[in-house]
Structure 1
């Protein structure tokens, strides 16, 4: 026999079946329901009561309970210290989850100790410590990240890490590693070691209570499994939000063919009468992690944008002084910038046409050229958007995981296009991505005298200015060149972990450059657009509206839902400092914190 138990009491195992059916109905509600929460909290209280009631020795269990619950609930102390919006109800839900987690760990070990076969008992005891580690890991990750960075990890950080390849991950560690990260690792080891020490002393259940224990254990296991998708313990809720975002990415990918089919049936799309019938080339350049706060063209005291400053002497080359990012991370920012989704209308990303899709449907030959990796752990809307292009050029593709190419390789790969065609080229730079010195040829390491990190960052701005000049020169050689637009996905604060952590948000992460280069022929054919751009160059703008701006400059019309008051290339543009939004519509500009470190 595996367990020493009274066979007659095995009838009690029928109880979990009945209770599981009841709990399934209860958990069909969300934990936002106070009724469901009350049932769940009751389960937690009963769980810990039964764990103590059936245990042979109470004192070791009490000690383990104190340590385990302190570990679990400490995350709420950190959330309060950071001023996060944590309600009493959230804290109560955390208590409920903690009680159930504690009972689950205890009962798994008790179940292992009840096994008579020595070899099997040892295996199950090892499993019980693995279960303990899995449960302790949830709060420990948040605690350790707080130790390392002074903030709590968020779903956005997890998404960003999921898009990071091995080399970028190594560079992230090299850029941000300090004694605090070492202490965070030590904290992780210590937290688990302390919990494991007290867990080791937890004993099994009295043999006469074994059948009751088995019955309750199955009830607990089934109820936890049913409630798992709705648990709102802080670390688990972060995982749920992350999972939902990744699900939305997958939906966007799956709906690509549907969007293309709808666009092809949209008979209202057309090019403006001023479109050159001899051919048109438009270039959209997406920068990486460039803040305008550290650019000469915006008044910074280092000469790191000499080419851009020279271009501004041309009245057809326009610099916009008050552009902001909609989010301080690439995937989220570009999911809006490159699609018709934005912060001001109800259109969601999963339903939104991308700029590539619209250009193709309007007859443009489309190119996507990138010096970033195509895939991380997950595919995102950015990679889905790029896959819609007629031609994809990934400079650092799967064959070059180490990312050996500088951005100048993009200039070398600029396509030999047909001057008689309508062509749209999107270029995604590596720009000022951490680790900054890894983005630079040796001849562009120029600045010194300040903090080394800032020196290297300013060097990347200088190098990006050089690359933009090379791209412009290459494009403007084409007889059909009409316009080039440059903007950055988001800004950067080099002294913040990761450079643009939304948890440590400040204005430098959101203030970005935006420049439009128009050819003489384009201005001649489209004087109203030129005049509108000049008129609006000092107005406030968020880069989720890059889609609208680009579509107007390209002369594409007929897409339902376009709003002139949101278009920087229209004199009807109406956004100002009070109405421009950021952080996906959750923050006005005057609410952006200026320091967080």
Structure 2
């Protein structure tokens, strides 16, 4: 009897500990993700649902690891590792893993996966060690056993209720019919934040990539575009998209180290302008590029599938279209899916063999030398300043800035790249327009797509044209009432350059509705983000 009471007491104590851990996790999830909007966390029913599902999850993991069956132990070990990885991510970044991060895991190429190895190890390394330690304690030291009938029944019952809701919801049924399963997984993730939610979202994101596989031309123009287009003034339009480029590290914008001497000279000459106060529309490449090259908006992806992209509009108005990118930005199959959906509409797609951007100028020269098409639209995607920074520069950059940190050297390498591209363009054309900007900024030595740090949105924007009609005042006309030029304006700027007129009412509405797509998938007014900092 005494032995039974001790065992029962130990079980109760351990259950209280697990409940406490579950409550903390549920509180963190609600307050550090987009699940809790306003009001007190403890007044939100979702808090108690999260607490129950997390507690059931922990008890089931405990039971699995304590099992005598190796396969069950392996599953318990795996799910414990995933749970501890979430906790490790929160400790390191101060927020829960967002949908944007999970999408980026799926929609990436092997080069980017390898480049993020160091950051991944920082997260999964401690989680893996802690998983081994906890598994050892549960197997060798703690002999408490739980009856899994109640937690397993609750866990499955709630999942069935959610599934029934999803099956009967008309808006979600429409998305499923289109092949997009992520909205369903977002709901599961809100109820099951511990491991299962992230796994279900990753699976849904992976199975949803087929919606980006269609390469057929879209017939419909966005309602903002006035037809027919006029005969375009520009023979050659080159849009250069940088990567992870923080404007405050550019000497062209006042940084104390000479990171961008070439760009300063190029864009300060007649016909050029260095635009201040510019920001990206998103903090992830997968979201930012579609909002530059299509009429995609932060609130919805519908226009991506329903309206012609800038690439398709260029072809419609007799431009030959090119997509030129570094090896690090390769589009593999239906991966890099969201912007790959647009890229694959280009008539010529070329990737350099070397990851250093400076080599792109030779690829561009090969293009211009061989192709006599009278009108060309070229999108150039740089590796830029993506992590690891040490892969983004060479000895020439180190010699030019011997005391600079690695990130500054990547900016200097981008500066040399722009100069090399500019020289090639000048050599083969006397009627051109060049835009250089970045897909997003960077929290230096941390990354991007994390929290609400404004550095991941602050970007350069530089412009030069041989056509006097397209001058600095032309670019300034797209600036919003908050004083910033948004990445959402890129599509309208390019539309004008390609010979299309824009409905002024629609443009004014968009221009003065300056917002950004946050890493946690919320849409936030840029002024609100700005005021937080």
| TM norm structure 1 | 0.70
Indicate the structure (1 or 2) with the bigger Cα radius of gyration. 1
- Using the TM superposition, give the Cα deviation of residue 64 of structure 1 relative to its aligned residue in structure 2, in angstroms: 4.8
1:272 aligns with 2:272: no
Give the 5 Å matches for 1:438-457: 438-445=391-398, 446-449=400-403, 455-457=405-407
1:253 aligns with 2:207: no
Q: Residue in 1 aligned with 2:523? A: 586
Q: Residue in 2 aligned with 1:145? A: 89
SS at 2:275's partner residue? strand
- Using the TM superposition, give the Cα deviation of residue 76 of structure 1 relative to its aligned residue in structure 2, in angstroms: 3.0
1:95–1:506: structure 2 CA closer, same or farther, 3 Å change rule? closer
Give the 5 Å matches for 1:77-92: 77-79=27-29, 86=36, 87-88=41-42, 89-92=45-48
Q: Residue in 2 aligned with 1:513? A: 460
1:286 and 1:126 map into 2 onto residues whose CA distance is 50
- Using the TM superposition, give the Cα deviation of residue 379 of structure 1 relative to its aligned residue in structure 2, in angstroms: 4.1
- Using the TM superposition, give the Cα deviation of residue 427 of structure 1 relative to its aligned residue in structure 2, in angstroms: 0.6
The answer to whether the Cα contact below 8 Å between 2:434 and 2:465 also exists between their aligned partners in 1 is yes
2:120 and 2:130 map into 1 onto residues whose CA distance is 18
Q: What is the aligned counterpart of 2:51 among 95, 99, 102? A: 95
Structure 1 unaligned blocks of 5 or more: 1-55, 113-121, 206-212, 397-403
1:389 and 1:76 map into 2 onto residues whose CA distance is 46
Q: How many residues align?
A: 485
Query: RMSD between aligned alpha carbons?
Result: 4.0
1:353–1:59: structure 2 CA closer, same or farther, 3 Å change rule? farther
- Using the TM superposition, give the Cα deviation of residue 485 of structure 1 relative to its aligned residue in structure 2, in angstroms: 1.2
SS at 2:273's partner residue? strand
- Using the TM superposition, give the Cα deviation of residue 563 of structure 1 relative to its aligned residue in structure 2, in angstroms: 4.0
Q: Residue in 2 aligned with 1:548? A: 492
2:154 and 2:472 map into 1 onto residues whose CA distance is 68
Q: What is the aligned counterpart of 2:332 among 360, 375, 378? A: 375
Q: Residue in 2 aligned with 1:395? A: 352
- Using the TM superposition, give the Cα deviation of residue 346 of structure 1 relative to its aligned residue in structure 2, in angstroms: 8.8
1:132 aligns with 2:76: yes
SS at 2:391's partner residue? helix
The worse-fitting range, judged by mean Cα deviation, of 456-465 and 585-594 is 585-594
The answer to whether the Cα contact below 8 Å between 1:447 and 1:456 also exists between their aligned partners in 2 is no
1:486 aligns with 2:428: no
The answer to whether the Cα contact below 8 Å between 1:312 and 1:319 also exists between their aligned partners in 2 is yes
**Residues 270-290 of structure 1: CA deviation (Å, up to 9, x unaligned):** 4324x35xx811111110011
Q: What is the aligned counterpart of 1:532 among 469, 474, 477? A: 474
Q: What is the aligned counterpart of 1:354 among 270, 295, 309? A: 309
- Using the TM superposition, give the Cα deviation of residue 160 of structure 1 relative to its aligned residue in structure 2, in angstroms: 2.5
**Residues 147-202 of structure 1: CA deviation (Å, up to 9, x unaligned):** 33343222222222334445544433447866x87544433433444455577542
Q: Residue in 1 aligned with 2:169? A: none
**Residues 9-58 of structure 1: CA deviation (Å, up to 9, x unaligned):** xxxxxxxxxxxxxxxxxxxxxxxxxxxxxxxxxxxxxxxxxxxxxxx974
- Using the TM superposition, give the Cα deviation of residue 80 of structure 1 relative to its aligned residue in structure 2, in angstroms: 7.2
SS at 2:248's partner residue? helix
2:198 and 2:147 map into 1 onto residues whose CA distance is 34
Q: What is the aligned counterpart of 2:160 among 226, 232, 235? A: 226
2:310 and 2:98 map into 1 onto residues whose CA distance is 29
- Using the TM superposition, give the Cα deviation of residue 407 of structure 1 relative to its aligned residue in structure 2, in angstroms: 0.8
Q: Residue in 2 aligned with 1:434? A: 387
| TM norm structure 2 | 0.78
1:548 and 1:219 map into 2 onto residues whose CA distance is 54
Q: What is the aligned counterpart of 2:253 among 298, 320, 326? A: 298
- Using the TM superposition, give the Cα deviation of residue 508 of structure 1 relative to its aligned residue in structure 2, in angstroms: 1.5
1:339 aligns with 2:294: yes
